Structure 1
Amino acid sequence: MPETVEAYSRCIPGAKFHVFEHSSHQPYLEEPEAYVRVIREFLSGV
């Protein structure tokens, strides 16, 4: 499934794609530090 999402993200200008390696469906609960870091990095570029 990540491959499909990555392919779609390449079609959207400015899209970001990130895989949380140690999470299933809830990275905000399973990897909160990594999740917050990715969100902050994204928002800093907006």
Structure 2
Amino acid sequence: MLLRDQPYQDLGPNWLARRNDEAHARRLVAQLERLGHTVVIDPAA
């Protein structure tokens, strides 16, 4: 807001859900693999 001299803009209640879901899944898989788990993602039908 201050950096761009723009008014506050609410991103909405589902802002996190709208973010890149694939990138989020990759981060979660990497986190589990660092903990020593083997992860296989099987997409829902």
Q: TM-score, normalised by structure 2?
A: 0.39
Task: Looking at secondary structure, tell me which structure has more helix per residue.
Answer: 1
Instruction: Kindly indicate whether structure 1 or structure 2 has the higher relative contact order, using CA contacts under 8 Å at least 6 residues apart.
Output: 1
Q: Of the two, which has the highest radius of gyration?
A: 2
Q: TM-score, normalised by structure 1?
A: 0.38
